[in-house]
A and B are shown apart, each in its own frame.
Chain A
């Protein structure tokens, strides 16, 4: 079974996000980069499926050469090949990203294509469905469990009122959520292998989509000063006073 995972290079933000002077992007001068938690689980799942079925686990991204770092991270987790669709824009719009992935997939026939439910930065939450539509493939989003059964795949999702199980013929597309599995940490051996691996680069003609970022802004935060109730165990009576005021002491 051949599985391909689409990942995005995103800034690894801490507790405070700084913006560039023109406010069109996150200031990444002092930040590392990563792939989102949903995508990390997608890579883990692809590697497990490939191990179980004797197939391949590929990883694909759309972005500049720097994004090879994220492809190599996925390969250090066990992905066996990587493709980068060259795009000088670090955070392309979702129409462009979907068109780039669709173009790349026309030359690669994986049985299952996995996406994260939404990227950790822009969060457009639509690329997987756009790609599935363009390729006329079955697609399920919000996936928290994947089972393989011959030429079919079963996909378990959390619905607002319970759990749903969907079944789709292969080839299929799924957008997954963190919690699907517990991703492994790369081994030293995996890291060395990934360092030497080749990233295949393709450059299809891409036009720009029609959702364009003008500026980013911080959400206005209106919180009063923190009231420090005390230090250590001595603060307990003050904490219980607060709980009592909130009607939580029964």
Chain B
């Protein structure tokens, strides 16, 4: 079987990332001629009906008080016990932080390799042959083809895989409950507080992100970015240069070690476009670069570019916007 790790929304349904993994698992199971199974934490709820439409034959539910707060190490330990008992050909999980952590723990318990951030999984042609995966490196700027040589193949799937629209022929999903044996004497981290984020536009939800880098010149230079973002209904971001100099908080950083965004329009102001930054904005639908250097990588990769100083170009754009919208 191909075992699929399901993350659940607050209402118990599979998350969007889990739906993507289920699609990948179905594809892989078809190639192998084996059934698709799923594993989730908690009660069944409507999950069996939902999973039946996605081609799942078996649902394993992990139930234990220590699993309630989503601890990746407890989930990983429970998962390793299920995998050791079921011996699936492969275990696929969403490439989210939490599932990657749980899979890492499970892989360590089982003594097997784990391929993270996979975009493709190719089983060996004959049984027992090593599999191959393609995974993302350096935030996705590079792809790596790798051999995954293990009796049970553990992999996490990079979010964004296509989900087929057609549903599988509905059939009965058998439900199995596993109460894992989690050693109470092992020291564990415990969730003690959870605070919801204040509502409002964030870098990941904004349709437009106006971001500044070295060319903005300092914290005082940000007023034009804020003003332009306000006029077009966007959020303000920045490059690592800006956060390292203390011009803006790290929460505003777009990049490999900051936030990865996919707005309709990314306005890159005075940002040269080093790899570390590029992987954070390369999924934008369109990019407008404002830069004094016409050869800057951000300029040559942008949809549109204006060659010039941020502090000349942006005030003129703001004035023109105000003139046209009468504000």
Contact = CB atoms under 8 A, between A and B. Distances in A.
Contacts of B289: 226
* Interface band, chain A: 35 or more
B286 A246 contact: yes
Interface in B206-261: 207-208, 231-234, 240, 243-244, 246, 249-251, 253, 256-258
A57 B107 CA distance: 29
Given A167-B192, A211-B114, A123 B275 contact: no
Contacts of A228: 294, 304-307
B224 to A, nearest CB: 12
B190 A167 contact: yes
B324 A227 contact: no
Interface string A230-245: 1111111111101110
B15 to A, nearest CB: 9
Contacts of B253: 178-179
Dominant secondary structure at the A interface: mixed
A224 B193 contact: no
Interface in B305-327: 305-309, 312-313, 315-317, 319-321, 324-325
A122 B113 CA distance: 15
Contacts of B113: 93-95, 209-211
A216 B72 CA distance: 30
Contacts of B270: none
A14 B194 contact: no
Given A37-B240, A141-B72, A227-B304, A130 B107 contact: yes
Interface stretch (A78-86, A158-166, A190-198): A158-166
B169 interface: no
B104 A129 contact: yes
B144 interface: yes
A217 B137 CA distance: 10
Interface string A13-49: 1111100000000100000000011100000000000
Given A139-B189, A155-B189, A167-B189, A162 B101 contact: no
A119 B320 CA distance: 44
A226 B299 contact: yes
A114 interface: no
B197 A162 contact: yes
Interface string B110-147: 00111111000000000000001000111111111111
A2 to B, nearest CB: 17
Nearest to B319: A236
10 contacts: A14-B274, A138-B187, A168-B187, A211-B148, A212-B146, A216-B144, A226-B303, A229-B305, A232-B316, A233-B312
Given A117-B97, A122-B137, A179-B250, 17 more contacts: A15-B278, A121-B138, A123-B139, A133-B76, A163-B194, A163-B195, A164-B195, A167-B189, A177-B257, A179-B251, A182-B243, A211-B146, A214-B145, A218-B142, A232-B316, A240-B321, A246-B264
Interface of A: 13-17, 26, 36-38, 93-95, 98, 117, 120-126, 128-130, 132-134, 136-142, 154-155, 159-169, 172, 177-179, 182, 209-219, 221, 223-224, 226-240, 242-244, 246, 248-250
